[in-house]
Chain A
Amino acid sequence: MSGQGSILDIQGPIVVAQLPNARTGEQVKLGKLGLMGEVIAREDARAIVQVYENTEGLRPGEPATALGEPLSVELGPGILGGIFDGLQRPLETMLKETGERIERGLVIPAIDSAKKWPFVPQEELKVGARIGGGAILGTVQENETITHRILVPPEVAGELIDLAPAGDYTVDEAIGRVRDRQGHIHKLHLSSRWPVRMPRPFSKRDHAVQPLITGQRIMDTFFPLLKGGKGAIPGPFGAGKTVLQQQIARWSDAQIVIYVGCGERGNELTEVLDTFPKLSDPRSGRPLMERTLLVANTSNMPVVAREVSVYVGMTIAEYFRDQGYDVVMVADSTSRWAEALREVAGRLGQLPVEEGYPAYLGSTLAAFYERAGRVETLSGGHGSVTLIGAVSPPGGDFSEPVTSHTKDIIQTFWALSKDLADARHYPSVDWLESFSLFVDTAARWWHENVSEDWLQLRNKSLRLLTEAEELNRIVNLVGVEALSSQQRWTLESARLVREGLLQQSALEPKDSFCSPEKQYLLLSLMIDIYNRGAEMLRLGMSVQELLRLPLLAKARRWKIAYASDELEGLKQEARDIVPLFDALRAEYASPTAKKPQEQEAGQ
């Protein structure tokens, strides 16, 4: 049903229109320009509409039309590898049709309706079968990486009275029909629509069990996130949020990656568009773009569409989850989305609570993050949506509303530090501020798949880093000479862990992605060096001598010397340490060994 009315008042992205019978959430088309918007409130016969596009040129008195449907996305083959704006309009198509500037009032379907897709019906499925929402009708090989599973829309159930044979179909051609209990016939297509603000249904929530392997040591080894978990990356500008998010989008072992650029830089999306088709998945060897979908609402694009873009991304993520895939959705940055909420709330004159944000900020964020998770799908399989949100706290202050609310909701918190970034320690994840609630679950996976002592080594290295932090405080007060030899060694070993393990350059070809095996080998090597050094100190070797070992400088370069498929070299390094320390031990354990006191006095 659609209603006609007229525009009464225009203020920035908020338009008031005379629109009796319009429902909140309903789409509205405004003015001669045909701008799209959405009803966010009703007052008597007036609808308050937030407009997704710039309202310049709109006049009071122009027509307003309620379209009867909430904002929905189109879901079907052909969306992977694409770049869409916050309303799921394909930006590449827009570029071809209207040029390099985004025109207003454009309606372009997300999926090319002329393209035919090779549909293969599910073999066991016979006409006459009873099927429910979410059941798999068949498949379309969308590209070499991804098999698109065609699902019965969640709201449809009944008897399958028709199923198309294998063949090529467009997304609009019917590939089957279902008769429901009431006798209504529903046509089924390769594509379907779903309203973005409504979470897609599933059978039940399930435990997350597997770590998401991102190839980033500070994440996988130190602060793991599970497939189906919720993580946040807060950090001031210049701390490296975007690089880290892009690293996750590149290397994580999810099957589908949805990257939502929400209110961020245009050039960053261009970089993704430029580089992803050239990069290949370390596991499948196929171009990364085949499993990636971009939603782009850059900072200069209209603010209301920014608010919508995260929901568009999430709905697409859920759609692939329902096909049984592990999906990672990266939202950069959720703060811009929250600011869009604030802007609309402010224009509506809603009472601000903290820093101008409306009272519902916390609940809105929570409800959104809760759409992540590992689930049992309607068709009985398993799928997950892992949500990673970047947060951009003003002034780098983590106590601001968006960061603090997000921190309450998520399970893994990768806090980026300006100080580390300034010292070019990347990724600038602060190991003292960050946390993961998933360490024990992740440990089970590491123990089964990599090594039994993973958790022990991880905890030991974290302890080393924490101790070093304490010692640093002492050093800053009284100088390094006040420390004992063991303490100095702790300090130096922590430096080794920082430089040889935690620091990982996205630009280093051999280290941009680090396999779990390499992560473990490096971790165990660093701890091994620490243990052996500590032993040598007990035997009387001086810390100065220990620090002069060329091994320490070499160990810092191992990460860039051996790629994840050259681990034999790293294992050889591990073997070479043994004779080195054996020789040292022999020297110091012998009765003629020099006394450490003399040594240090001689310095």
Chain B
Amino acid sequence: MSMLEYSSAAWARGGLLAMRSVPEAALGDRVVVRDHTGRSRSGQVIRTSADLVLVQIFEGTDNLDLERTWVRFLDKPFELALAPEVLGRVFNGVGQPRDGRPPIVARLSRNVNGASINPAARAYPREFIQTGISTIDGMNTLVRGQKLPVFSGSGLPHNRLAAQIVRQAKLLHAGKAESHGDFALVFAAMGVSHSDARFFEESFEESGVLGQVATFINLADDPPIERLILPRVALTCAEYLAFDLDMHVLVVMTDMTYYAEALREIATGKGDVPARKGFPGYLYSDLAEIYERAGRIRGKAGSITLIPVVSMPSDDITHPVPDLTGYITEGQIVLSRELAAANVQPPVAVLPSLSRLMKDGIGEGMTREDHARVASQLFASYAKAQEVRSLAAIIGAEELSEEDNRYLQFAEAFENRFVSQGEREDRSIFQTLDLAWEVLSLLPKEALTRLSEKDLDARYRQAAAE
């Protein structure tokens, strides 16, 4: 470690500090900046040449006096100290404790940028995770090692949904839930409010998992630049838990939109050419570096399942952050303001939601034999019901045909009984599928063309008749 301190700052603005004549600083090197008050900040080299070195300061560049700023180059990349004791602790964006307890004693340290997983080393995720939420388990099934974001909007209950998943998620073995022992949670919060942070903490405490959670937190009033490193720090921790300690790690990250906004802030400061809405052209690659760290690795017992929360500014799903996220992740759970207003909880809009890895995690031996067809039928019938609804809005419900009226009944029942469930209601996959049959049985048999004859013989009206 170099003890030399440089005081050759050329300029500072928007979280960036430029240093003159620093010989041979390596790209990505960690930097410690001491300001005139004696406070130290941490940073990272993001551009380097013989004449000028550009450093991004995670605590921001506010109140830096160029003449009285001393910079030390640590001659090593940004690393995170790791030990099993990270569980139960709370850290800031750069991995320093913020729970008032001493730093952990490191067993090892890892570069927070990680290295890409060789695609040939990945194991394909196919183990069903029961979240107890019908719209997810039944229609957008989550599997271990998947990255499945929640697309939400301001004021929608995405945090409650995320907390419910954390409380209820379990793996089934021959229909029975697995023990909690090898389970860990990494919670990464960027730009969240104090009250949201407290909500999560209480929720973890209540479900008794607090000792299994490593929390990385950057609050709304913390420096935004720190959000750039936070998800990388959190995922480095998750990788350690999953691939060194063989744990099944669920990572909840909220809110990726604030992350991207911090990235935009720095990019603008550097003068990068903007692509859409001022975001830099490399936003896709940057998000992918984060999301793609989820997964399973052949020959390793652990896994990383990632649930990022992405808020859609003005509920716009085509906004660059949800849009690019959707291209990288393996599906998305979309929340709907209309359903929330109609008091459907959780307000999951099933039609734009999707789980790409569902097909290999369901069916006989994993969930139930008819699962795929039931899900497909629910999607098709609900899509048709939405058409009928828009028709009814124009010509009036009394003008509808008998069959169309049954679709309206189906849609009502589907939303109020299948989609809607209490925050405390933990449904097994079998309960979910039975409920699906119950609502599907409101439709005439002939309209259920995605189910097989055998399914219909075995289950149609069975539930409704009870």
**A, B: real partners:** yes
Of A91, A101, A266, A480, which contacts B295 at CB under 8 A? A266
When the two chains form their complex, are residues B120 and A237 in contact, meaning their CB atoms are under 8 A apart?
no
Q: With A60-B24, A395-B318, A477-B394 known to touch, is A102 a contact of B116 (CB < 8 Å)?
A: yes
Question: How far is it, in angstroms, between the C-alpha of A296 and the C-alpha of B331 when the chains are bound?
Answer: 21
Number of interface residues of A (CB under 8 A): 79
Which interface class (under 10, 10 to 19, 20 to 34, 35 or more) fits B? 35 or more
Question: How far is it, in angstroms, between the C-alpha of A499 and the C-alpha of B289 when the chains are bound?
Answer: 39
When the two chains form their complex, are residues B117 and A8 in contact, meaning their CB atoms are under 8 A apart?
no
Task: Give the Cβ gap from A297 to chain B, nearest Cβ, in Å.
Answer: 9
Residue of A273, A346, A355, A478 most packed against chain B (CB within 10 A): A346
Question: How far is it, in angstroms, between the C-alpha of A95 and the C-alpha of B11 when the chains are bound?
Answer: 45
- 7 further A-B pairs in the complex, CB-CB below 8 A; given A58-B26, A303-B285: A8-B50, A56-B27, A56-B77, A60-B24, A270-B122, A298-B119, A346-B273
Q: Which residue of A lies closest to B271 (CB)?
A: A349
Residue of B282, B360, B372 most packed against chain A (CB within 10 A): B282
Q: With A10-B49, A102-B116, A238-B326 known to touch, is A59 a contact of B25 (CB < 8 Å)?
A: yes
When the two chains form their complex, are residues A56 and B318 in contact, meaning their CB atoms are under 8 A apart?
no
Which residues of B have CB within 8 Å of A423? 351, 379-380, 383-384
When the two chains form their complex, are residues A60 and B372 in contact, meaning their CB atoms are under 8 A apart?
no
When the two chains form their complex, are residues A300 and B288 in contact, meaning their CB atoms are under 8 A apart?
yes
Task: Give the Cβ gap from A160 to chain B, nearest Cβ, in Å.
Answer: 40
Q: With A56-B77, A61-B24 known to touch, is A299 a contact of B328 (CB < 8 Å)?
A: yes
A-B contacts, 28 of them at CB < 8 A, read A54-B113, A54-B115, A56-B26, A56-B27, A56-B28, A56-B77, A57-B27, A91-B118, A95-B120, A100-B118, A236-B323, A237-B327, A238-B354, A263-B288, A266-B117, A267-B122, A267-B124, A270-B119, A300-B288, A339-B284, A345-B273, A346-B280, A349-B273, A356-B281, A397-B318, A423-B379, A477-B394, A480-B401
When the two chains form their complex, are residues A479 and B394 in contact, meaning their CB atoms are under 8 A apart?
yes
Question: How far is it, in angstroms, between the C-alpha of A343 and the C-alpha of B295 when the chains are bound?
Answer: 27
Question: How far is it, in angstroms, between the C-alpha of A418 and the C-alpha of B384 when the chains are bound?
Answer: 15
Which residues of A have CB within 8 Å of B123? 270
When the two chains form their complex, are residues A265 and B359 in contact, meaning their CB atoms are under 8 A apart?
no
Q: With A83-B119, A356-B275 known to touch, is A476 a contact of B394 (CB < 8 Å)?
A: yes
Any B CB within 8 A of the CB of A55: yes
Task: Give the Cβ gap from B106 to chain A, nearest Cβ, in Å.
Answer: 20
Q: Which residue of A lies closest to B351 (CB)?
A: A422
Of B77, B121, B276, which contacts A394 at CB under 8 A? B276
Q: Which residue of B lies closest to A555 (CB)?
A: B449
Task: Give the Cβ gap from B263 to chain A, nearest Cβ, in Å.
Answer: 13
Chain B positions 257-289 with a Cβ under 8 Å from a chain A Cβ = 272-276, 280-282, 284-285, 288-289
Question: How far is it, in angstroms, between the C-alpha of A173 and the C-alpha of B192 when the chains are bound?
Answer: 64
Q: With A265-B292, A346-B280, A553-B446 known to touch, is A59 a contact of B48 (CB < 8 Å)?
A: yes
Any A CB within 8 A of the CB of B298: yes
Any A CB within 8 A of the CB of B399: yes
Chain A positions 1-31 with a Cβ under 8 Å from a chain B Cβ = 8-12, 16
Of B114, B291, B357, B399, which contacts A481 at CB under 8 A? B399
Which residues of A have CB within 8 Å of B319? 395
Residue of A9, A58, A424, A550 most packed against chain B (CB within 10 A): A424
Any A CB within 8 A of the CB of B211: no
Chain B positions 102-119 with a Cβ under 8 Å from a chain A Cβ = 111, 113-119
Residue of B145, B318, B320 most packed against chain A (CB within 10 A): B318
Which residues of A have CB within 8 Å of B357? 267
Any B CB within 8 A of the CB of A557: yes
Question: How far is it, in angstroms, between the C-alpha of A173 and the C-alpha of B48 when the chains are bound?
Answer: 45
Which residues of B have CB within 8 Å of A273? 119-120
10 closest Cβ pairs, A-B complex: A395-B318, A299-B288, A423-B383, A100-B121, A300-B292, A56-B28, A9-B49, A237-B326, A346-B273, A356-B275
When the two chains form their complex, are residues A100 and B297 in contact, meaning their CB atoms are under 8 A apart?
yes
Any B CB within 8 A of the CB of A327: no
Any B CB within 8 A of the CB of A518: no
Question: How far is it, in angstroms, between the C-alpha of A9 and the C-alpha of B332 when the chains are bound?
Answer: 40
Question: How far is it, in angstroms, between the C-alpha of A263 and the C-alpha of B273 when the chains are bound?
Answer: 21
When the two chains form their complex, are residues B359 and A507 in contact, meaning their CB atoms are under 8 A apart?
yes
Any A CB within 8 A of the CB of B170: no
Q: What 0/1 pattern do residues 113 to 145 of B give for CB contact below 8 A with A?
A: 111111111111100000000000000000001
Which residues of B have CB within 8 Å of A55? 27
When the two chains form their complex, are residues B27 and A58 in contact, meaning their CB atoms are under 8 A apart?
yes
Task: Give the Cβ gap from B397 to chain A, nearest Cβ, in Å.
Answer: 11
Which residues of B have CB within 8 Å of A56? 26-28, 77, 111, 113
When the two chains form their complex, are residues A479 and B391 in contact, meaning their CB atoms are under 8 A apart?
yes
Question: How far is it, in angstroms, between the C-alpha of A91 and the C-alpha of B298 when the chains are bound?
Answer: 14
Which residues of A have CB within 8 Å of B320? 394
Task: Give the Cβ gap from B164 to chain A, nearest Cβ, in Å.
Answer: 23
Which residues of B have CB within 8 Å of A95? 118, 120-121
Task: Give the Cβ gap from B355 to chain A, nearest Cβ, in Å.
Answer: 10
Any A CB within 8 A of the CB of B314: no
Any B CB within 8 A of the CB of A301: yes
Q: What 0/1 pattern do residues 270 to 287 of A give for CB contact below 8 A with B?
A: 110110000000000000
Which residues of A have CB within 8 Å of B446? 550, 553
When the two chains form their complex, are residues A266 and B119 in contact, meaning their CB atoms are under 8 A apart?
yes
Question: How far is it, in angstroms, between the C-alpha of A100 and the C-alpha of B121 when the chains are bound?
Answer: 5
Of A299, A346, A396, A424, which contacts B379 at CB under 8 A? A424
- B residues apposed to A, CB below 8 Å: 23-29, 46-50, 77, 111, 113-125, 145-146, 272-276, 280-282, 284-285, 288-289, 291-293, 295, 297-298, 300, 317-320, 323-324, 326-328, 330-332, 351-352, 354, 357, 359-360, 372, 376, 379-380, 383-384, 390-391, 394-395, 399-401, 446, 449
Question: How far is it, in angstroms, between the C-alpha of A270 and the C-alpha of B47 when the chains are bound?
Answer: 35
Which residues of A have CB within 8 Å of B117? 100-102, 266, 300
Of A10, A346, A397, which contacts B48 at CB under 8 A? A10
When the two chains form their complex, are residues A103 and B115 in contact, meaning their CB atoms are under 8 A apart?
yes
Which residues of A have CB within 8 Å of B379? 423-424
When the two chains form their complex, are residues A269 and B119 in contact, meaning their CB atoms are under 8 A apart?
yes
Residue of A102, A270, A300, A507 most packed against chain B (CB within 10 A): A300
Q: With A61-B23, A270-B124, A481-B399 known to touch, is A556 a contact of B116 (CB < 8 Å)?
A: no
Q: Which residue of A lies closest to B404 (CB)?
A: A480
Any B CB within 8 A of the CB of A94: yes
Which residues of A have CB within 8 Å of B360? 271
Residue of B27, B117, B320, B384 most packed against chain A (CB within 10 A): B27
Of B295, B328, B352, B449, which contacts A422 at CB under 8 A? B352
When the two chains form their complex, are residues A11 and B47 in contact, meaning their CB atoms are under 8 A apart?
yes
Which residues of B have CB within 8 Å of A355? 275-276
Task: Give the Cβ gap from B452 to chain A, nearest Cβ, in Å.
Answer: 8
Task: Give the Cβ gap from A274 to chain B, nearest Cβ, in Å.
Answer: 5
Any B CB within 8 A of the CB of A189: no
Which residues of A have CB within 8 Å of B26? 56-59
Task: Give the Cβ gap from B126 to chain A, nearest Cβ, in Å.
Answer: 9
Task: Give the Cβ gap from A407 to chain B, nearest Cβ, in Å.
Answer: 19
When the two chains form their complex, are residues B275 and A101 in contact, meaning their CB atoms are under 8 A apart?
no
When the two chains form their complex, are residues B49 and A60 in contact, meaning their CB atoms are under 8 A apart?
yes
Which residues of B have CB within 8 Å of A422? 351-352, 383
When the two chains form their complex, are residues B120 and A91 in contact, meaning their CB atoms are under 8 A apart?
yes
When the two chains form their complex, are residues A396 and B318 in contact, meaning their CB atoms are under 8 A apart?
yes
Which residues of A have CB within 8 Å of B298? 100
Question: How far is it, in angstroms, between the C-alpha of A303 and the C-alpha of B281 when the chains are bound?
Answer: 11
Residue of B285, B300, B354 most packed against chain A (CB within 10 A): B285
Task: Give the Cβ gap from B401 to chain A, nearest Cβ, in Å.
Answer: 7
When the two chains form their complex, are residues A274 and B124 in contact, meaning their CB atoms are under 8 A apart?
yes
Task: Give the Cβ gap from A352 to chain B, nearest Cβ, in Å.
Answer: 5
Which residues of B have CB within 8 Å of A356? 273-276, 281
Which residues of A have CB within 8 Å of B449? 499, 553, 556-557
Question: How far is it, in angstroms, between the C-alpha of A46 and the C-alpha of B326 when the chains are bound?
Answer: 40
Q: With A300-B116, A422-B351, A507-B372 known to touch, is A336 a contact of B391 (CB < 8 Å)?
A: no
Question: How far is it, in angstroms, between the C-alpha of A396 and the C-alpha of B125 when the chains are bound?
Answer: 28
Question: How far is it, in angstroms, between the C-alpha of A352 and the C-alpha of B330 when the chains are bound?
Answer: 31
Of B27, B273, B281, which contacts A339 at CB under 8 A? B281
